[in-house]
Amino acid sequence: MPGLVPGIHVFLFGDKQDVDGRDKPGHDGIEALTELHSKMLFTADHDEPRRALQKFIAAEINPHVDEWEKADIFPAHELFKKLGDLGFLGLNKPVEFGGQGLDYSYALMMAEELGAITCGGVPMAIGVQTDMATPALARFGSDEVRREFLVPAIAGDQVACIGVSEPGAGSDVASIKTHARSDGDDYVINGGKMWITNGTQADWICLLANTSDGQVHRNKSLICVPMKTRGVQVARKLDKLGMRSSDTAQIFFDNVRVPKRNRIGEEGQGFTYQMIQFQEERLWGAAACLKAHEFIINQTIDYTRGRKAFGGSILDNQVVHFKLAEMQTEVELLRSLIYRAGEALVAGEDVTRLATMAKLKAGRLGRELTDACLQYWGGMGFTNETPVSRAYRDSRLTSIGGGVDEVMLMVLCKMMGTLPGLKQKGNA
């Protein structure tokens, strides 16, 4: 039986040592427990890219977050180019198209580290580039279409977005109305997409459209559409509750003509490809919450320890320190679920069930955790100058984007055989 991992210390009752034994100010045992847990999925090979990403976030992103939040946008092309030069936009993408050719555990590592960015909008935009708009392209696209769209996305030379949701079809993907009519060697696209992250800055969109009038799960295709194509109109930039630094657009397509060679994989398989793509999107969204949640817990500990009321600190109240301990426990449980799903995905297993559970839990936890922490900040929590108010607003999207909580529950019930209307096992 293997022994304890060298360098990992278990802390009780206030010992403040880092995982390497050095004294440090901070929060007892959180970092050490996280590192111990991660050894199951991550190896020493993950350490160097993890440290490089942490350094990049600290130097190139977090110092600018407040500015980008106030501007309601961040410079996607500039930032993505820097990330591309470091190899972070294609960790698990094919080497022949500029990727690193690594397994999914590296993408999951990146998603978790992006949670250290002190807002939700920037990591979400990066995640769209790496885990939402490009997985199907990398897996099913022809060499020609991958050279045209995947290569510049991995290099950071182009910004991508994913076009699935519509005003009348958000979580109900099968009901989309955008249509790509066949005309010789081209598709002629008409329709519109809504809530498109990176939409005002994107160079191309991975578009889900109906390419026939057949059965709704077999009549859709994924098509790469350059945003400068005639007839593509970015109608407006949406004014959102949170995720302020991320640009989100409504987009219309008016007789947009693109060659059929821009289609990803087989015609009519777009719904299936998108469902597969959703696995990585939902798992990414859950993983990106982990460090964000821990940051807010730690910020709340610091604030409530220093805030005095009724003869003691706010933190001294049992309801406060017990609740924070409970929330940290919930974050660790979520991490366990995510890591289990990550291991399964690396092993080539279908992770629909686990990814759906992780996405559901991440959204629910984000709402509960940020609400509780904001309450402990009192009046300051209701101002926009505190990190907890930004987290409160940003985290709310996790229960909506990539499929609302209710759809996640429907997926799970269907897999459990409990969704009304399904033929039950053993019944005629």
Active site residue 281: yes
Q: How many residues does the chain have?
A: 428
Are the beta carbons of 372 and 280 closer than 8 angstroms?
no
Kindly give the interhelix angle for 290-306 and 387-395, rounded to the nearest 10 degrees.
150
Q: Which residue is catalytic, options 113, 267, 280, 281?
A: 281
CA angle 421, 427, 428 (to 5 degrees): 95
CA distance 138 to 401: 22
Give me the DSSP letters along 245-296: TS-EEEEEEEEEEEEGGGEESSTTBHHHHHHHHHHHHHHHHHHTTHHHHHHH
Instruction: Give the tokens for residue 148.
Output: 């045209």
What is the spatial distance between Cα 405 and Cα 363, in angstroms, rounded to a whole number? 8
Q: What are phi and psi of 315, to 5 degrees?
A: -65, -25
Helix (H) or strand (E) holding 194: strand 186-197
Is the separation of the CB atoms in 151 and 424 below 8 Å? no
The 10 Å Cβ neighbour count of residue 35 is 16
Residue that has been written with the tokens 């033929």 in this structure: 423
Q: Tell me the C-alpha distance between 329 and 378, whole Å.
A: 23
Distance CA(20)–CA(6), nearest Å, equals 9
The two beta strands, 263-264 and 204-210, are unpaired
Helix (H, G, I), strand (E, B) or coil at 380: helix
Host H or E run for residue 232: strand 232-237
Longest CA pairwise span in the chain (Å): 79
Active-site residue numbers?
A: 281
